[in-house]
Amino acid sequence: MAKKQPLVPQEEDGRKTRKEILLERRHQRQMKRVRLAIGSVLGLIALVVVIALINEYLIVPSRPVAVVNEESISLTDWQDRVRYERAQRIVFLENQYDAFNGDVGIIQQFAGQTIMEVFNAEDLGQTVLNALIEEAVIRQAAEARGIVVTDADVEQEIAESFNFFGGDSPPPTPTATATVMPTPSVTPITTEVITETEVLPPPETEVGPTNTPRPTPTAVSAEAFQQEFNEFLDQFRPYGITEAQYRSIVRAQLFRERLAEWLAQDQDLPTTADHVSFYVIIYDTEEDANEGQAMIEAEGFLPVWNAIRSAPPDPENLTQPFATELPWQTQDELTNNIGFALATEVFSLPLNTPSDIVTEQLDPNAPPRYFIMQVSGREERPLSPQALENARLSAVRLFVDSVIASGGVEITDNWRGRTPTQPSLDPKFLQQPTPAPQQELPPELPPIEELPPLDDGQ
């Protein structure tokens, strides 16, 4: 009996079985899911990157680093100003480098603070932020008072800073006219050995001479001004600084000056103040000061002052007293120059009456010094131009502080960690100065016994 054939048909060569077809379809479905998953992940990553880029380059730059009376200072504006301030300092350092023939030691000595400002990026960023807040407060206050700074005002200020006055000569420096000379100090005795101290009476009041007129400044042409201004800007262009940025700085300065003038008139700032003129003797040790005070009590202040003033310098006496005269100072000027204690003592002294010994440490890195003073004159006088300017700027400073204290300024943390470090400081300014070459010493002579004997004929 013949054997039955199997029910499952045999596939012809080259044809897949049903099982293989099912496995292949399943594999295709799995691969499709994998591709969908990978595509989803890649799409999610791309979305995150796009969101990050939008946030970093569109959203974050527009976020405020500070808000001044509801007016925002954006991160972009702050970063641009930081770059400008860095460039300004770097240009200054490069000019100094050229002026001192590459002597880094001199630059570090006289411009060390500028180098550190560029090196410490975060500190400079904080300084710039404070400056932008102050400028915003000043501009808002000025505009609220009807103060306007036009483009023409900015152009004129820039031109005048380069001595361009529309082709005319610069305004001449005021020439000093004849004035009544103040009472001079006691005439020093010029002899080397003082055997008897004589206080000479002051001479009669006389009229001081006038100064020799200065030559008339040469007029600057428009072409010369434009060339000089372009050369000035060319120093900043390699660092990405634009002319518009420079003009915005000038505009802010004009707002400050005009608000200062307005506050001076509004607050009726005084134009005169009490001045004193006085003599002072300075001692390095308390023992010398006590001896000087005893001599003053015995002989009088002016003879002692005159003797010290007339004595020749003694290089071997490191504690030799020093005598000088400070004519016509205000109390604020004295406080800034010699300290609060000395200024207070001077303004409380009666005329021609020696003070007690006043101790003051003018230099925190040096020991205290000892002062004995006598006021020779006291009167109300006009303030100097510098004192008037300082008073106006002080009024602006107090005004800005009051606005900040009232809560009109909000500072955010959006700027932290985003301080520009470009343009960068050339490493040459951070190098150790090259020490001065040491002079070669002559070779040592051998001991006498080692010298060759002299010939008889020598």
pLDDT in tens, 298-329: 999 999 999 999 988 888 778 889 999 999 99
Contact 16, 24 (CB under 8 A): yes
pLDDT for residue 406 is more than 80: yes
For residue 197, give the DSSP letter.
-
Query: For all residues of the chain together, what is the average pLDDT?
Result: 81
Q: What is the mean pLDDT of residues 56-69?
A: 74
pLDDT for 443 equals 57
Q: What is the mean pLDDT of residues 60-81?
A: 88
Burial class (CB in 10 A: 0-12, 13-18, 19+), 309: buried
pLDDT in tens, 210-263: 444 444 556 778 899 999 999 999 999 999 999 999 999 999 999 999 999 999
pLDDT for 418 equals 92
Of residues 117 and 448, the one with the higher pLDDT is 117
Contact 375, 346 (CB under 8 A): yes
pLDDT for 458 equals 43
pLDDT for 437 equals 56
What is the rounded distance in angstroms from the CA atom of residue 76 to the CA atom of residue 60?
Answer: 9
For residue 207, give the DSSP letter.
B
Percent of all residues in the chain with a pLDDT value above 70, rounded to a whole number: 77
Sign of the dihedral defined by the CA atoms of residues 292, 295, 297, 299, in that order: negative
Q: Predicted confidence band at 30 (pLDDT cuts at 50, 70, 90)?
A: confident
pLDDT for residue 133 is more than 70: yes
pLDDT in tens, 4-13: 555 555 545 5
What is the rounded distance in angstroms from the CA atom of residue 256 to the CA atom of residue 69?
Answer: 18
pLDDT for residue 185 is more than 50: no
| Residue 376 main-chain phi, psi, to 5 deg | -105, -15
Q: Which of 58-62, 310-314, 410-414 has the lowest mean pLDDT?
A: 58-62
Contacts of 427 (CB under 8 A, 6+ apart): none
What would the two tokens of residue 123 be? Answer: 């500190």
- Say whether 19 sits in a helix, a strand or coil: helix
pLDDT for residue 198 is more than 80: no
pLDDT for 74 equals 93
For residue 57, give the DSSP letter.
I
Burial class (CB in 10 A: 0-12, 13-18, 19+), 62: exposed
pLDDT for 34 equals 84
pLDDT for residue 294 is more than 70: yes
Contacts of 279 (CB under 8 A, 6+ apart): 185, 301, 302, 305, 323, 324, 325, 373, 374, 376
For residue 429, give the DSSP letter.
G
Contacts of 71 (CB under 8 A, 6+ apart): 136, 140
Angle between helices 331-338 and 385-405 (to 10 degrees): 80
Contact 302, 202 (CB under 8 A): no
What count of other Cβ atoms lies within 10 Å of the Cβ of residue 122? 12
Give exposure, 342-375, as e/b (b: 16+ Cβ within 10 Å): bbebbbebeeeebbebbebeeeeeeeebbbbbbb
pLDDT for residue 195 is more than 90: no
